[in-house]
Each structure stands twice: as C-alpha cells, then as structure tokens.
Amino acid sequence: MIIEKNIFREAADRFKRIVKNVTSLENALWDLGDGETLSSTELHTVAAVGEFPLITVTGMAKHMGVTKGASSQLVGKLEKKGYIQKLKRTDNNQEIHLALTGRGELACQWHEEFHHALQGVYFDRITHEQMDVFNEVLKKFEGFGEYFLQDESRFTISLDGKPVIKVKEEELK
C-alpha cells in the first residue's frame, strides 16, 4: 500500500511534534501539593512501585527501559525524597525490594487521579474503534523503530548520495 506523499509528510510532521511535546512533558516538574516537585520519570517510578509491590531495582530497570545503574540512582533519589523505601529480604541480603512510603502512596494516588482526569478530558472523545486503530499504528511505528535501531547498517547511502533503507519484510513486526 502506497501512502500519498503529502499525507505521509503531514503524519510524520505531526508525529515529530507529538514526540517533542511528550519530551517536554517528561522534562516537566510536577508539584503534588506538598512542596516537593517530581519529574515525570520520578512520578512514573513511584507509580510503578505502587503497581508492582516489592519490585526489585532490576525489575524496575526492565519495566522503565533503563539500565540497572540508572534505576538504582532514581530509586536512591526517591528514597531520599521520602517516596520509596528499600527493603532487604531476610533470606537474601543481595536482593532489595521497593515499597512505597506514605508519601509515595499519596504521590501514586495523585498520579492515578491525574491520568483519570486526563482520560476524561481527552480520551473520552475518542471512540474505542479509533483507539484500536491508533494503537495498531503505534505498534507498527514501534516495531519499525526497534527494527532499524537493531542494526544501523540498514540505513546506508548509495553511490549517488541517496539514502538506501534495507528491509527484510519477514523481520518487520
């Protein structure tokens, strides 16, 4: 299926603007009303600990898509701020589990209420069918991105200086 060039360009430009907006939101600091601000990453980490009680730092790294070192640093910051506590297992001193503090539970609740309000403002205006189609398109974009990031040699330049993209259809998700 060939998409008309101007439709593709419009969609690509819109997608870039969405990524820019999401990046700006990820860099924003959120004031939860207690005088402390949390980054979106910190807030989502607190929410993940609430969603997966007693998750490990390694499990958190996998869930958040970051390295164990980055996860450990983030957890350390949130522990110092009083949102997360580290718990050592009695039968295994190496394994550290994470749990929310009272302050963390309040932040988790704030996060849930924020998303619920956001859903009411925006997503209640989108039909289930539209969301299904949108989600399928996003899955394809995600698959394309993962495919090309696996092997940078899939992007090359021909002898006449034009870009060449090597695609094996069977490898695309």
Asked if 111 and 40 touch (Cβ cutoff 8 Å), the reply is no
Burial (0-12, 13-18, 19+ Cβ within 10 Å), 99:
middle
pLDDT per residue as tens digits for the range 35-87: 889 999 999 999 999 999 889 999 999 998 889 999 999 999 999 999 999 99
Asked if 41 and 26 touch (Cβ cutoff 8 Å), the reply is yes
Q: Where, residue-wise, is CATH 1.10.10.10 in the chain?
A: 5-125
Instruction: Please name the residues in contact with 136: beta carbons below 8 A apart, sequence gap of 6 or more.
Output: none
**pLDDT score recorded for residue 6:** 82
* Higher per-residue confidence, 171 vs 28: 28
Burial (0-12, 13-18, 19+ Cβ within 10 Å), 104:
buried
Q: In this model, does residue 14 exceed pLDDT 70?
A: yes
Band of pLDDT at residue 17, cut at 50, 70 and 90: very high
Q: In this model, does residue 156 exceed pLDDT 80?
A: no
The sign of the CA dihedral 49, 52, 53, 54 is negative
How much is the pTM?
Answer: 0.71
Q: In this model, does residue 1 exceed pLDDT 60?
A: no
Give the fold, CATH level 3, of 5-125.
Arc Repressor Mutant, subunit A (1.10.10)
Token pair of 54 as six digits: 């007693």
Q: In this model, does residue 149 exceed pLDDT 80?
A: no
**pLDDT score recorded for residue 88:** 84
Distance of CA 37 to the CA centre of its chain: 19
Q: In this model, does residue 93 exceed pLDDT 60?
A: yes
Strand-strand pairing, 96-100 and 155-157: unpaired
**pLDDT score recorded for residue 172:** 61
pLDDT per residue as tens digits for the range 94-130: 788 999 999 999 999 999 998 888 888 877 788 889 9
Band of pLDDT at residue 169, cut at 50, 70 and 90: low
Asked if 42 and 77 touch (Cβ cutoff 8 Å), the reply is yes
**pLDDT score recorded for residue 173:** 58
**For the residues 7-25, what does the mean pLDDT come to?**
87
